[in-house]
Amino acid sequence: MSKKAEGIVKTAMLATNIRRKNVKKGLQFTVMCVGSSGLGKSTFVNTLCESNVFALKEFTGEKLSVEKTVEINPITVEMEEDGIKLSLTIIDTPGFGDNINNEPSFGEILGYVEQQYDDILAEESRIKRTKFQDHRVHALLYFIPPTGHSLREMDIEFMKRLGPRVNVLPVVAKSDTLTPPELAAFKKRINEDIAHYGIPIYNFPIDEEEDDDETIEENNELRELLPFAIVGSEEEVVISGRRVRCRQYPWGVVEVDNSRHCDFSKLRYMLLSSHLSELKEITHDILYEQYRTEKLSKEGAVDDEDEEDDEEE
């Protein structure tokens, strides 16, 4: 048996053992949703969880004259995916993008993400560990308005600010408001902006030596979909004898779970099943470790400066 074949067999055995443990214990996963008001975030979350997680608000399109601060509202939903119990925490961020100056909102959301890392760092420093709930954000869905143009300055700055700290997944909200050619051109311009401005997003990384052919093919397909075009709807209708979730228009229907109509089903499967473990691993092994190293290095530099001051005195 070749080394690559041996590796695949060992990986499969390890995956089986991990799955057995996960079935027994269940999994915890946290997703943050960020985007301006009126982009269908609440509908998306309710569609994702297949339950009424957030009450839907009527969006009038009017901006308030009073500056609002962003709210950070976590809510946990108990679900079951592929026979595994899943404790899914959804973090909503109402108020984001609703002001003329949205810089404070960036800082509040980044501060929340980093606070979860600080909590883990503090727990790791304890001599006696306690039962600790990990609230780190494993994926951040950034909702881009379907303008058909390109990324706004706010979109660019926010994703650049958050990308080094969390797995950012850009999505085109309410993609059914664009025709297929318009959507394809819009996605192309967004990807060009992401490359041009060096925006760090989760782009389904591939390891040619470690990943098997199936994983490489799947990641390439998902990478081609970025940014995911999503449609949300809790309305169900019967079409050709089958009950489907869809949005109805005079010209026809857009089926939420039909991959020919939008990318929702593939995004949902990726988030809650196929790439859930990888997003958690990257959060812990790469993003958290980078933050931890930076923080400890800064604290070490401060300590060195204090020692030098003491010696001079």
Q: What's residue 65's pLDDT?
A: 42
| Secondary structure E strands in the chain | 27-34, 73-81, 84-92, 139-144, 168-172, 228-229, 236-239, 242-249, 252-255
Q: What's residue 233's pLDDT?
A: 87
Q: What's residue 42's pLDDT?
A: 92
- Rounded Cα distance between 117 and 15, Å, is 27
Q: What's residue 117's pLDDT?
A: 97
- Rounded Cα distance between 34 and 298, Å, is 29
Q: What's residue 20's pLDDT?
A: 52
Residue with token string 């601060």: 69
- Rounded Cα distance between 43 and 26, Å, is 26
Q: What's residue 10's pLDDT?
A: 46
Amino acid at 299: E
Q: Which two tokens stand for residue 41?
A: 């975030």
Mean pLDDT by 10 residues, the chain (313 residues): 49 48 76 94 92 73 58 94 92 89 92 96 82 91 96 96 98 96 97 97 92 93 97 85 86 88 96 96 97 90 58 58
Amino acid at 247: R
